[in-house]
């Protein structure tokens, strides 16, 4: 435990030890910008399912800031890591370099949502004038925890740009990366979105959608309580089939999806199933935020051209338009998303490295990397599918 005066930061090994209401007041004080991945229910489902903890290499060490009355003023989803898997903000080169020089990179401290490269707040504080002071205390407590326990450093990944700026001003090393997000320009229908595309891209999109469902497939949308255990069974089979090919071993287990559906964020789950008659053959899982539709996982047991694009990108756009959702975030990486209307968007992380020599080397690298990310985002944006000129999207 650390702190200043009567304000203390404690380390909690199970999120279940933190009252859900107290955590969520810090995590999501504004329903309009609700982020389901930092909600107590999502993080608890990960722990109860055993996807973190135990021998997974993700050991919960959540930070909880309490005032003199015991009221929780801030918190952070924090994990002791023995590897760099499931983070999507790659630091393997740093680990290799440090260990070649005789250092020990693992364990390290990670403030993040496991297996989930979704941008959002990470140092979660109650709204009010003391919010930034609470944020600084959480960051300082994480640094002290690393220094006092022989850890190589602290990594806060996929945090908000505002946090990134403030923490960078406090001396943490700043890193950027990119994803591809779709933005809703007040479209009334999917055809309105198509009309904003250049003619060649519009024709290509129509052709891809036709081919994806050409074999008599139909897509069903299921939200919240409409999702039964049978639906989760089908989706998990798709997830395992595709995840095994892509990652070797999927990070999540079947129990997690049931727990997620039963959690306080279960009503925000959206399962899209591609069906041949009554038989689902592919599916995608999305979570609905306050102003964003978050695409997470997908899979299929039959191969159909462009079905991945249909289930992960086009159906998500269609849903967002119909429900007035401002944007769609469809996960990490993937320049193929650009042609489907998803534009490059910067993501952010900050890092505290304990060893001075490694810190200097990483800081030097990050200067060049940020310049590269800026240039890449600008270049890729020029290749977006939207019409140019006076009739273009604004």
Radius of gyration for the chain, computed over Cα atoms and rounded to the nearest angstrom: 22
Q: Give tens-digit pLDDT for 117-164.
A: 999 999 999 999 999 999 999 999 999 999 999 999 999 999 999 999
Is the dihedral angle over the CA atoms 223, 225, 226, 227 positive or is it negative?
Answer: positive
CATH architecture of structural domain 2-177+345-381: 3-Layer(aba) Sandwich (3.40)
Residue 1: what pLDDT? Answer: 46
Q: Give tens-digit pLDDT for 269-328.
A: 999 999 999 999 999 999 999 999 999 999 999 999 999 999 999 999 999 999 999 999
Residue 391 above 80 pLDDT? no
Phi, psi (rounded to 5 degrees) for 272: -110, 125
User: Which residues in the chain are classed under CATH 3.40.630.30?
Assistant: 2-177+345-381, 185-325
If phi over 0 gives left and psi between -120 and 50 gives alpha, with beta otherwise, what is residue 389? left
Q: Can you state the angle between helices 20-27 and 40-48, rounded to 10 degrees?
A: 130
The pLDDT of 358-380, averaged and rounded, is 97
Residue 246 above 80 pLDDT? no
Residue 57: what pLDDT? Answer: 97
Residue 2 above 70 pLDDT? no
Please give the class, per CATH, of domain 185-325. alpha beta
CB contact set of 383 (below 8 Å; sequence gap of 6+): 338
Work out the pLDDT band at 244, boundaries 50, 70, 90: low
Residue 250: what pLDDT? Answer: 87
Q: Is the pTM of this model over 0.85?
A: yes
Q: What is the DSSP letter of 312?
A: I
Residue 333: what pLDDT? Answer: 77
Residue 215: what pLDDT? Answer: 86
- Kindly report the CA angle at 229 between 237 and 266, in degrees rounded to 5? 105
Residue 5: what pLDDT? Answer: 56
CB 16 within 8 A of CB 52: no
Q: Give tens-digit pLDDT for 172-231.
A: 999 999 999 999 999 999 999 999 999 999 999 999 999 999 989 999 999 999 999 999
Residue 245 above 80 pLDDT? no
Q: Give tens-digit pLDDT for 72-127.
A: 999 999 999 999 999 999 999 999 999 999 999 999 999 999 999 999 999 999 99
Q: How far apart are the C-alpha atoms of 339 and 17, rounded to whole Å?
A: 45
Residue 392 above 70 pLDDT? no
Residue 393: what pLDDT? Answer: 44
């Amino acid at each position: 435990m650390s702190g200043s005066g009567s304000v203390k930061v404690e380390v909690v090994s199970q999120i279940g030890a933190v009252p859900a209401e107290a955590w969520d007041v810090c995590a999501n004080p504004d329903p309009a910008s609700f982020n389901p991945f930092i909600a107590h229910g999502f993080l608890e489902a990960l722990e109860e399912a055993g996807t973190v903890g135990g021998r997974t290499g993700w050991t919960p060490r959540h930070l909880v800031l309490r005032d003199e009355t015991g009221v929780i003023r801030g918190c952070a989803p924090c994990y002791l890591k023995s590897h760099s898997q499931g983070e999507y903000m790659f630091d393997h080169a740093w680990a290799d370099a440090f260990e070649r020089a005789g250092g020990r990179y693992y364990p390290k401290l990670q403030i993040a949502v496991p297996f989930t490269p979704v941008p959002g707040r990470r140092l979660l504080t109650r709204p009010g004038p003391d919010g930034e002071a609470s944020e600084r205390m959480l960051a300082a407590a994480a640094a002290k925890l690393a220094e006092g326990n022989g850890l190589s450093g602290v990594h806060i990944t996929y945090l908000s740009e505002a946090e990134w700026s403030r923490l960078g001003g406090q001396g943490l090393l700043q890193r950027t990366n990119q994803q591809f997000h779709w933005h809703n320009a007040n479209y009334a229908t999917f055809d309105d979105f198509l009309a904003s595309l250049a003619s060649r891209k519009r024709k290509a999109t129509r052709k891809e959608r036709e081919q994806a469902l050409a074999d008599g497939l139909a897509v069903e949308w299921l939200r919240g309580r409409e999702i039964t255990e049978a639906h989760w069974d089908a989706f998990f089979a798709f997830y395992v089939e595709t995840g095994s090919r892509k990652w070797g071993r999927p990070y999540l287990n079947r129990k997690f999806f049931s727990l997620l559906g039963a959690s306080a964020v279960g009503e925000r789950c959206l399962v899209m199933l591609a069906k041949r008659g009554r038989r689902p053959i592919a599916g995608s899982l999305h979570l609905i935020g306050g102003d964003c539709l978050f695409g997470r996982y997908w899979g299929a047991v039959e191969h159909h051209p462009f079905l991945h694009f249909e289930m992960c990108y086009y159906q998500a756009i269609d849903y967002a338009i119909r429900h007035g959702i401002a944007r769609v975030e469809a996960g990490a990486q993937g320049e193929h998303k650009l042609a489907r209307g998803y534009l490059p968007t910067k993501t952010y992380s900050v890092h505290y490295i304990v060893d001075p020599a490694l810190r200097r080397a990483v800081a030097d690298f990050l200067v060049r990397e940020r310049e590269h990310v800026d240039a890449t985002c600008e270049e890729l944006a020029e290749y977006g599918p939207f019409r140019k000129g006076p009739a273009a999207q604004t």
